[in-house]
Structure 1
């Protein structure tokens, strides 16, 4: 089923903090948010260099007077306009996420924030309290969680097609930082600087992505304890890791493993998740996002294709084009931004029924990601010991 009508009644007046002309992630945010016309980009503080940010904003079609030098000016002056912004996306280095998101919530704005939401669980709890107190939506951009085959996997697991879940193997292990590229790439430098990146590099930067996919697929699993070992193979990155292995024990006895890495030389992206049950297994790889592998013990392996009528109805709701045509990152992000828009609109109308039916990476997902990174670091820094989750 091709869903070509993904619209809310009135576009949300939207701004960006960060995401300037040299920002890859900023382009992805805009492409996703604007695709279904549910957001209208009307303002922004796009760059730490105010003039460069203003020039870029004008290129995007934003009025020069609404291209601000910093996020505080953006929030303060937009609040004085009758047509001021209703939501903001935060696409800045990790070390700024908490302050910007906190200020946005205090200004009464909905927020879409890059992960990690912040550095510490204490900060995450502050943001969660603020979001609930102000009745504001916070979305976190675990982008591939918006892909249809993640919904298919969730439905198949819920229908007991795999049997008892025993193992969950996850990885996000690329090779683009297998050498000290930050020495000549300013866009990478902040990721390996503890002052800007926080207590981890790859655990927070890539490891939380497949972890959230597992939470979508397997909402019944709860982490009981974990053990993490992390390494800095490019020595100048220490104390931040560029590789980490995390072993997790779930309540009920299932086991999980996450490989987080930026030094998997030769790998393009390497984000995969494999769920292993007592009768069958599922595997999804983001470099081949339109195929879901389903392997029943003793039978030939099956490949389920995106967009086909044999899939679960929930996996067909987000189709944008017919089966056979590839959909990937931009479509998955667009699906998330559509859900963000639905949630923001419902929140503004106090439509609790709609809010109760929506699933997207929300403030709770952001808090869980921060908790996981914090516990991984605690385990690794004590010699890779088991720690309670």
Structure 2
């Protein structure tokens, strides 16, 4: 169980690009990073408007002289300081992620980036290779992966509790954009603009979340080919999709399907991952994240609860309060951020093997998310046909 002790020798000196007032996820990053004293927020370029960013940064107790006008100045000036930042979080629109991540790596910084990491596989490979050359870490904030029951599912599958894996069924299908809400909401408007959002809307914005969760649960499965069909039910969003269906075949012969949607009217989230084996199935639903449904053929279904002594050790390590008390979104992000801090320290100390044990989304996860979207778009644009996974 976690009791709030710092997991590193000292807090990581940390800055932010974006995440200012009105940003959708800025507070989530700060809440997660600061909860366990894993990071210390010292600098930032919080807003495209320099004055607004400076004013906002001061409300976070960042010194005025370390609230910078842009990321270029942030990186250059902090590099001159003996107490300069060591890591930076990038919480900006999608089309800026590649350039800012690249600049941060070249400045010798570890990077925590919102997804998608970039727009193309070529860019993702370049960033992954650059991070390795610079001996820096890229982490991607697939925040749902911080929920304890994801680690429980991974351990159960690895132990053979489900038997041979046959089927993976995924969804992330909310209804909040069933109307053209972007007409009145700037934070949504850029998500349906190809120049800013990239080659997809819901595939990249939503679908990569359950995809990554399935990769955590099932690291042994590799996609062999897929088929994608995507639609723009709100016509003004074309060519970007607000609904998509994906079928996948793994190298083992197991099959997967995913429904991704922003127009599932009435639905809150509907993010689910169901894994079906030869002996049993399990299902995780992000609206009930403290529970894992476990169904053994021929037996009554059972619900596995977070925080209980019968869980595998991998799941118990991230407990923050005892069983029966609900944990949720902020705890999941915090679990990722303290692991990010431990991974950064391990990298700096020449101990990269520890990073694999921490089970965090790194540059490889960012690369795979971009790769998956690129293959989905390629299939959909050919009329929804099976394509070999490239």
Q: What TM-score do the two structures reach when normalised by structure 1?
A: 0.99
Question: Is 1:231 the counterpart of 2:252 in the alignment?
Answer: no
List per-residue Cα deviations over 1:338-361 (Å, max 9, x = no partner): 111001111111123433433200
Post-superposition offset of 1:159: 1.1
Question: Is 1:201 the counterpart of 2:201 in the alignment?
Answer: yes
Query: For residues 252 and 78 of structure 1, what CA distance do their matches in structure 2 show?
Result: 49
Stretches of structure 2 that go unaligned for 5 or more consecutive residues are none
Q: 1:4 to 1:78 in 2, by over 3 A?
A: closer
Match of 1:117, SS?
coil
Post-superposition offset of 1:170: 0.5
Q: Which residue of 1 aligns with 2:40?
A: 40
Give 1:159-198 correspondences, 5 Å limit.
Answer: 159-198=159-198
Q: 1:10 to 1:134 in 2, by over 3 A?
A: same
Match of 2:115, SS?
coil
Post-superposition offset of 1:270: 1.2
Match of 2:190, SS?
helix
Q: Which residue of 2 aligns with 1:125?
A: 125
Q: Which residue of 2 aligns with 1:154?
A: 154
Query: For residues 259 and 63 of structure 2, what CA distance do their matches in structure 1 show?
Result: 45
Query: For residues 341 and 171 of structure 2, what CA distance do their matches in structure 1 show?
Result: 30
Is the 1:174–1:270 contact (alpha carbons within 8 Å) kept by the matching residues of 2?
yes
Q: Which residue of 1 aligns with 2:10?
A: 10
Post-superposition offset of 1:157: 0.7
- Structure 1 runs, 4 residues or longer, greater than 4 Å off: none
Q: Which residue of 1 aligns with 2:263?
A: 263
Q: Which residue of 1 aligns with 2:76?
A: 76
Match of 2:215, SS?
helix
Q: Which residue of 2 aligns with 1:135?
A: 135
Q: Which residue of 2 aligns with 1:273?
A: 273
Query: For residues 352 and 197 of structure 1, what CA distance do their matches in structure 2 show?
Result: 33
Q: Which residue of 2 aligns with 1:213?
A: 213
Match of 2:269, SS?
coil
Q: 1:384 to 1:308 in 2, by over 3 A?
A: same
Q: 1:356 to 1:376 in 2, by over 3 A?
A: closer
Query: For residues 298 and 357 of structure 1, what CA distance do their matches in structure 2 show?
Result: 35
List per-residue Cα deviations over 1:47-68 (Å, max 9, x = no partner): 0111001000000000011001
Is the 1:270–1:285 contact (alpha carbons within 8 Å) kept by the matching residues of 2?
yes
Q: Which residue of 2 aligns with 1:114?
A: 114
Is the 1:3–1:317 contact (alpha carbons within 8 Å) kept by the matching residues of 2?
no
Q: Which residue of 2 aligns with 1:26?
A: 26
Give 1:330-345 correspondences, 5 Å limit.
Answer: 330-345=330-345
